[in-house]
Chains A and B, each alone.
Chain A
Amino acid sequence: MEFFIQVLVATVGMGTPLLFATLGGVISERAGVINLGMEGLMLVGALVAFVVMLNTDSYIYAVIAATIVSGIVSMLHGFVSLMLRANQIASGLALTFFGTGLSGLFGDKLTGETVEPLSRIPIPVLNSIPVVGPMLFNQDILVYFSYLCVILTWFLLFKTRLGLNIRSMGEAPEVCDSLGLSVIGYRFFAVVGGGMLIGIGGAYFPLALTPYWVDGITAGRGWIAVALVIFAFWHPVKALGGAYLFGIALAMELRLQILGLDISPYFLKMLPYLLTILVLTLITIRYKKLGVKVMPAALGEVFFRGEKN
Chain B
Amino acid sequence: MHFYLEKRLNTSTWGRIAVLTASIILVLFISLFFFLAAGIEPFPAYKIIGEEVFLTTYGWQDLLVKMTPLMLTGLAVALAAQMRLWNIGAEGQFHMGTFALTWFALEFDGRLPGVILIALMLLMAMIGGGLWGSIPGYLKAKFGVNDIITSLLLNYVAVAWLDHLLFGDWRDPNTNNFPITKEFSVAAQLPTFGNTPVHAGIILAFVFVLIIAWILWKTRLGFQIRLTGENPDAARYSGVNIRMVTILVFAASGAIAGIAGFSEVTGIHYRLQQNISIGYGYTGIIVAWLARNHPLGIILSAFFMSIVFVSAEVLQIEYGLPISMVYLYQGIILFTVLGSEIFTEYRLRISRSLVRTGTGNQNI
- Footprint of B on A, CB under 8 Å? 36, 40, 76, 79-81, 84-87, 89-91, 93-102, 104-106, 108, 215, 219-220, 223-224, 226-227, 230, 264, 266-267, 269-270, 273-274, 276-277, 280-281, 284-285, 288, 304-307, 309
| Interface contact A307-B282, CB-CB below 8 Å | no
Cβ A80 vs Cβ B339 within 8 A: yes
Are B334 and A97 within 8 A (Cβ)?
A: yes
Of A87, A91, A101, the contact of B328 (CB 8 Å cutoff): A101
Known contacts A220-B153, A281-B139, A98 near B163 by CB under 8 Å: no
Contacts of A215 in B (CB 8 A): 322, 324
> Would A76 and B335 be within 8 Å (CB), given that A93-B285, A264-B164, A270-B160 are in contact?
yes
Name A277's contact: one of B37, B153, B335 (CB within 8 Å): B153
Contact of B150 among A89, A220, A269, A280 (CB under 8 A): A280
Q: Which residues of A contact B153 (CB under 8 A)?
A: 220, 223-224, 227, 273-274, 276-277
Q: Which of B203-211, B224-232, B341-349 contacts A (4 or more CB under 8 A)?
A: B341-349
Q: With a CB–CB cut-off of 8 A, which chain A residues contact B154? A: 273, 277
Pair A85/B150 contact, Cβ less than 8 Å:
no
Could you list some 25 contacts between A and B, CB below 8 A? A79-B339, A80-B335, A80-B338, A84-B342, A90-B334, A91-B334, A91-B338, A98-B335, A219-B156, A227-B153, A230-B149, A266-B161, A266-B164, A267-B160, A267-B164, A274-B153, A276-B149, A277-B145, A280-B145, A280-B146, A281-B145, A284-B146, A304-B361, A305-B4, A306-B4
Q: In the complex, how many angstroms separate the beta carbon of A253 from the nearest chain B beta carbon?
A: 11
Interface: B7 (CB within 8 A): yes
- List the A side residues contacting B149 at CB < 8 Å: 223, 226-227, 230, 276-277, 280
Give the residues in chain B near A106, CB-CB below 8 Å: 37-38
**Count of chain B residues with Cβ under 8 Å from any Cβ of A?**
54
Task: Decide if A95 touches B331 in the complex (CB within 8 Å).
Answer: yes
A269 touches B146 (CB 8 A): no
Interchain pairs with CB closer than 8 A, number: 159
A105, B156: Cα distance in complex, Å: 21
User: Is the pair B322, A266 in contact by a Cβ cutoff of 8 Å?
Assistant: no
CB distance from A281 to the nearest CB of B (A): 5
Chain B contacts with A in 126-169, Cβ cutoff 8 A = 139, 143-146, 148-150, 152-154, 156-157, 160-161, 163-164, 167-168
Q: Which B residues lie within 8 Å of A91 (CB)?
A: 334-335, 338
B88 located at the interface, meaning its Cβ lies under 8 Å from any Cβ of chain A in the complex: yes
Question: Which of chain B's residues has its CB closest to A85's CB?
Answer: B342
Contact partners of B334 in chain A: CB under 8 A: 90-91, 93-94, 97
Q: Is B330 an interface residue (CB 8 A)?
A: yes
* Cβ contact of B342, chosen from A86, A108, A306, cutoff 8 A: A86
Q: Is the CB of B331 within 8 A of A94?
A: yes
Please name all residues of chain A whose beta carbon is closer than 8 Å to the beta carbon of B161 when the two chains form the complex: 266, 270
Indicate whether B176 reaches chain A with its CB closer than 8 angstroms: no
Known contacts A84-B341, A97-B334, A305-B4; A270 and B157 CB within 8 A of each other: yes
Cβ distance B75 to chain A, nearest Cβ, rounded Å:
18
A266 touches B160 (CB 8 A): yes
Beta-carbon nearest neighbor of A36 in chain B: B148
Complex Cα spacing A264 to B161, Å: 10
User: Of A76, A274, A277, which one neighbours B139 at CB under 8 angstroms?
Assistant: A277
Chain A residues in 8 Å Cβ range of B160? 266-267, 269-270
Q: In the complex, what residue of chain B is closest to A281 when comparing beta carbons?
A: B145
Give Cα A227 to B364, complex, Å.
32
